[in-house]
């Protein structure tokens, strides 16, 4: 893939161009994520990813599928810069993560909202506090925290449960709390790592519906999953990994290759 | 900036109470370690005072010839007092020497044989106190050359022995204090690390939502400072309540003058507070660092 300037670049305003100076210009300039020729070899010699090329444009909804150990987790770790690619570029919202100084990592993480299989909620804090926590620890002023938290709790439908602690909630409600927390920073990208892995099928569908709604509001969603039924039913873009390589990338795909 | 400090202090306070058992364990360890440190400091101070006291006992005694002219004796005293090594000179007359001898015989319950004597056989003497026992030998040598001096009591060995013992005790005391300090540091760091490990999940979430290192670190550092200051407060309170028995013990055991006691109390407040604060802050800093380097 060559990195050519976007055709619309010339018509862009001067201010916009100055703002974007220094960022990696690519064919998918409006892409939230560009991975180019990425390889990742861990210090123990195990190669987790090889020749990965992936472009996710703004507003996309992408399923990342593949057996355990295929490299899904490694991709997610690269995106949140928990790991750095051994080779190639990982460009998130125009910034090359490998060249990002350590200081700048927290800022880039605020552009991503992450949702995990095990929710990762703080057990002693209420729903409202768990969501507000994400803003508090990033230094948001208190007057901005209240409306932002109220807004995302309304979006995920947990306004009534705002004062409850996680152990008083159902699994689906806990996951919706985690999604609210992921949304509260207004992220460019939501990464959901097996978000329905701990939930029964009915509740899983609720969570998927919620992610679809968030996607309709314009947030890009990358969802790693094993749930074949969901992937096949929705006919969204499917990126399949196997042994560290992308073996399939098709829009409207099923979980398994249509042979 | 103010918002950040308020946030960190608030989180430190919440962290301390949300994990009360861990905080109490860390504080208790801190108190134990500070008591150990303070106890050893007290012993060390007592020991040093006792050593100073012992060293001040080292003196050179010059017996004066019976036929020495009074003018020569006075002149010798003036010259002795002018020497920089000399802390003080006291003149013991022949009569005083006899009286001392008689008293010491009485105290030992022995018969006073001096009553069979026609005249006082004892000489007058100068007792020369030194600012440091190591000057005993040169001063004794110089006194031997004085014409008015009959003989000089040979305190050379005593002085050297005292010097050797006090030097060893001083060095050993400093070394033990340092070793205790290092052990205390390790124990405190480990205890605080346990408290931090118990909150590893919270730290992980903070990292994932994009909290900067400062926002993760400082609440823990403040919490460590709280543990340290609380531990120091409890330790100093305990020492204050026990100050009477400690004072009695020191006077009985080391014969330290009460004069040095006021400065000891001040030293202890500074030592315990700074050690508690420093160990708490350092302990949390090191513990939370493990989670930030990635």
- Interface contact B210-A107, CB threshold 8 A: yes
Cα(B261)–Cα(B247) distance, integer angstroms: 8
Is the pLDDT score of A1 beyond 60? Answer: no
Q: What is the pLDDT of residue B261?
A: 60
Instruction: From B226, B227, B239, B223, select the one nearest B271 (Cα to Cα).
Output: B239
Per-residue b or e along A103-120, where b marks 16 or more CB atoms closer than 10 Å to that residue's CB: eebbebbbbbbbbbbebb
Instruction: From A143, A177, A144, A142, select the one nearest A163 (Cα to Cα).
Output: A177
Q: What is the pLDDT of residue A148?
A: 96
DSSP structural state of residue A140:
-
ipTM: 0.81
Give yes or no for A165 touching B (CB within 8 A).
no
- Interface contact A82-B204, CB threshold 8 A: no
Taking all residues of chain A, what is their mean pLDDT, rounded to a whole number? 87
Check residue A224 and give left, alpha or beta (phi > 0: left; psi -120 to 50: alpha).
beta
Is the pLDDT score of A91 beyond 90? Answer: yes
Question: Which residue is closest to A185 within chain B, CA to CA?
Answer: B209
Greatest pairwise CA separation for chain A in angstroms: 56
- Interface contact B209-A136, CB threshold 8 A: no
The answer to whether position A257 is within a domain reads no
CATH number at residue A166: 3.40.50.300
The one-digit pLDDT tens for each residue of chain B (294 residues) are 777 888 888 888 888 887 788 888 888 988 988 888 888 888 877 777 777 777 777 778 888 888 878 888 888 888 888 888 888 888 888 888 888 888 888 877 777 777 778 788 888 888 888 877 778 778 888 888 888 888 887 666 776 777 788 788 878 888 887 887 788 778 777 877 887 787 888 889 999 999 988 888 898 899 889 999 999 999 999 988 888 887 777 777 766 554 456 677 888 899 899 999 998 898 888 888 887 765
Is the pLDDT score of A86 beyond 60? Answer: yes
Helix (H, G, I), strand (E, B) or coil at A194: coil
Residues B100-135 have pLDDT tens digits of 888 888 877 777 777 778 788 888 888 888 877 778
- Interface contact A137-B294, CB threshold 8 A: no
With contacts defined as CB-CB under 8 Å, which chain A residues touch B213?
106
Cα(B100)–Cα(B160) distance, integer angstroms: 27
Residues A226-253 have pLDDT tens digits of 888 889 999 999 999 999 999 999 888 7
The answer to whether position A117 is within a domain reads yes
**H or E element at residue A7:** none
CA B14 to mean position of chain CA atoms: 39
β A61-65/A237-242 pair status? parallel
The answer to whether position A244 is within a domain reads yes
Tell me the mean pLDDT in the region A98-103. Answer: 87
Secondary structure in 3-state letters for B65-78: CCCCCHHHHHHHHH
Between A104 and B196, the more confident residue is A104
Helix (H, G, I), strand (E, B) or coil at A55: strand
With contacts defined as CB-CB under 8 Å, which chain A residues touch B211?
106, 137-138
The answer to whether position A48 is within a domain reads no
Within 10 Å of residue B86's Cβ, how many Cβ atoms?
A: 18
- Interface contact A181-B3, CB threshold 8 A: no
Residues A36-76 have pLDDT tens digits of 999 999 999 999 999 999 999 999 999 999 988 899 999 99
The answer to whether position A26 is within a domain reads no
Cβ neighbours of residue B33 closer than 8 Å, sequence gap 6 or more: B184, B187, B188, B231, B279
pTM: 0.70
Instruction: From A215, A204, A128, A129, select the one nearest A170 (Cα to Cα).
Output: A204
With contacts defined as CB-CB under 8 Å, which chain A residues touch B209?
109-110, 133-134, 137-138, 181, 185
- B-facing residues of A in 116-145 (CB < 8 A) are 120, 122, 124, 133-134, 136-139, 141-142
**H or E element at residue A245:** strand A245-250
For chain B, how many residues are written?
294
The domain of A161 spans 58-86+100-250
Residue B224 phi, psi dihedral angles, 5° rounding: -60, -40
Secondary structure in 3-state letters for B154-216: CCHHHHHHHHHHHHHHHHHHHHHHHHHHHHHHHHHHHHHHHHHHCCHHHHHHHHHCCCCHHHH
Is the pLDDT score of A170 beyond 50? Answer: yes
**For the ranges A11-20, A199-208, B33-42, the one whose mean pLDDT is highest:** A199-208
The answer to whether position A155 is within a domain reads yes
β A47-57/A95-96 pair status? unpaired
Distance from CA of A32 to the nearest CA of B (A): 18
The total number of structural domains in chain A stands at 1
- Interface contact B210-A133, CB threshold 8 A: no
Q: Which CATH class is domain B59-154?
A: alpha beta
- Interface contact B7-A136, CB threshold 8 A: yes
Between A219 and B85, the more confident residue is A219
Between B272 and A30, the more confident residue is B272
- Interface contact A120-B205, CB threshold 8 A: yes
Q: What is the pLDDT of residue B115?
A: 76
The answer to whether position A170 is within a domain reads yes
DSSP A73-127: HHHHHHHTTSS--SEEEEEETTEEGGG--GGGHHHHHTTEEEEETT----TTS-H
Within 10 Å of residue A37's Cβ, how many Cβ atoms?
A: 13
Instruction: From A60, A112, A121, A124, select the one nearest A81 (Cα to Cα).
Output: A112
Q: What is the pLDDT of residue B199?
A: 81
Residues B45-93 have pLDDT tens digits of 777 777 777 777 777 888 888 887 888 888 888 888 888 888 888 888 8
Burial (CB < 10 A; 0-12, 13-18, 19+), residue B114, is middle
Cα(A156)–Cα(A174) distance, integer angstroms: 11
Whole-Å CA distances, B115 to B83, B118, B163:
39, 8, 40
**For chain B, domain boundaries:** 2-53+162-292, 59-154
């Amino acid at each position: 893939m060559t990195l050519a300037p976007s055709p619309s670049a010339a018509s862009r305003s001067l201010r916009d161009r100055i703002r974007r100076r220094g960022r990696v210009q690519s064919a998918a300039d409006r892409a939230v994520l560009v991975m180019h020729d990425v390889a990742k070899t861990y210090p123990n010699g195990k190669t987790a990813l090889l020749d990965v090329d992936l472009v996710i444009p703004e507003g996309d909804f992408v399923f990342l599928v593949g057996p355990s150990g295929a490299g899904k987790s490694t991709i997610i770790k690269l995106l949140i810069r928990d790991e750095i690619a051994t080779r190639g570029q990982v460009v998130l919202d125009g910034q090359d993560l490998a060249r990002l100084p350590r200081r700048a990592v927290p800022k880039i993480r605020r552009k991503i909202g992450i949702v995990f299989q095990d929710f990762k909620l703080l057990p002693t804090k209420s729903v409202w506090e768990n969501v507000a926590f994400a803003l508090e620890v990033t230094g948001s002023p208190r007057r901005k925290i209240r409306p932002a938290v109220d807004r995302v709790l309304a979006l995920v439908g947990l306004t009534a449960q705002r004062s409850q602690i996680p152990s008083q909630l159902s699994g689906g409600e806990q996951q919706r709390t985690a999604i609210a927390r992921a949304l509260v920073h207004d992220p460019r990208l939501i990464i959901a790592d097996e978000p329905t892995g701990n939930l029964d099928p009915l509740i899983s569908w609720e969570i998927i519906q919620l992610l679809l709604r968030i996607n309709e509001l314009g947030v890009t969603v990358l969802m790693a999953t094993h749930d074949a039924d969901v992937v096949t039913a929705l006919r969204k873009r499917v990126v399949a990994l196997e042994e560290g390589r992308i073996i399939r990338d098709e829009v409207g795909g099923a979980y398994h290759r249509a042979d | 900036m103010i918002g950040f400090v308020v946030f960190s202090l608030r989180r430190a306070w919440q962290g301390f109470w949300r994990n009360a058992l861990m905080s109490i364990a860390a504080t208790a360890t801190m108190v134990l370690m500070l008591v150990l440190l303070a106890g050893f400091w007290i012993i060390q101070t007592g020991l040093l005072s006792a050593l100073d006291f012992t060293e001040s006992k080292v003196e050179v005694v010059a017996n004066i010839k019976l036929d020495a002219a009074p003018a020569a004796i006075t002149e010798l005293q003036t010259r002795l007092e002018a020497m920089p090594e000399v802390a003080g000179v006291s003149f013991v007359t022949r009569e005083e020497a006899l009286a001392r001898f008689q008293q010491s015989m009485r105290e030992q319950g022995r018969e006073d044989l001096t009553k069979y004597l026609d005249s006082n056989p004892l000489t007058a003497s100068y007792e020369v106190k030194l600012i440091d026992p190591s000057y005993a030998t040169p001063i004794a040598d110089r006194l031997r050359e004085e014409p008015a001096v009959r003989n000089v009591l040979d305190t050379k060995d005593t002085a050297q022995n005292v010097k050797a013992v006090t030097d060893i005790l001083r060095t050993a005391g400093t070394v033990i204090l340092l070793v205790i300090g290092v052990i205390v540091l390790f124990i405190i760091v480990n205890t605080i690390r346990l408290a931090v490990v118990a909150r590893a999940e919270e730290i992980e979430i903070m990292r994932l939502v994009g909290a900067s290192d400062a926002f993760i670190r400082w609440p823990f550092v403040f919490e460590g400072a709280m543990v340290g200051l609380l531990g120091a407060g409890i330790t100093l309170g305990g020492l204050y309540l026990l100050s009477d028995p400690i004072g009695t013990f020191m006077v009985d055991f080391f014969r330290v003058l009460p004069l040095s006691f006021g400065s000891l109390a001040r030293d202890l407040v500074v030592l315990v507070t700074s050690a508690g604060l420093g160990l708490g802050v350092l302990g949390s800093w090191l513990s939370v660092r493990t989670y930030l380097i990635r």
